[in-house]
Amino acid sequence: MGIIEAARKLGEELQKDERFIAYAKAKLDMDKDEDVQNKIGEFNVIRMNLEQESEKDERDEEKIKELNEQLRSTYAAIMQSKTMLDFNTAKAEMDTVMNDINSIIMQCADGADPKTVEPEVHSCSGSCESCGGCH
């Protein structure tokens, strides 16, 4: 089996994994959730209005403040919805799987033994100030 065929096989196995299945379901649920989709649309309109107001020569600071508050409020409503919470949880698990796969492949490309290599463990404090770069 060649490299490309092996990658396709890995893709097949990935799509059988319960984390991928949960992610795909959560993504579909989010796409079908009219309330979340409407709030995302609202968010985008508010963001465009904020950008337009901010770019004016004579900016209305009160309007900018109001739009910023609307933007934060709409964002919070989106992020607090059960559909979005479920999606973000499933996406985080899927991201972990993909990071582990990429870590193993990159280490093998650097000469590590494919039979014994383990995914690299990264710890993130959440503060980018002390970080040397994202993994």
- Using a pLDDT cut of 90, give the percent of the chain over it: 85
The pLDDT assigned to 1 comes to: 81
For 48-83, the pLDDT digits (tens) are 999 999 999 999 999 999 999 999 999 999 999 999
Q: Is the pLDDT of residue 122 over 80?
A: no
Q: Give DSSP secondary structure letters for 3-71.
A: HHHHHHHHHHHHHHSHHHHHHHHHHHHHHH-HHHHHHHHHHHHHHHHHHHHHHSSS--HHHHHHHHHHH
pLDDT at 127 over 80: no
Helix (H, G, I), strand (E, B) or coil at 113: coil
Q: What pLDDT digit, counting tens, does each position of 97-112 carry?
A: 999 999 999 999 999 9
pLDDT for 134 equals 57
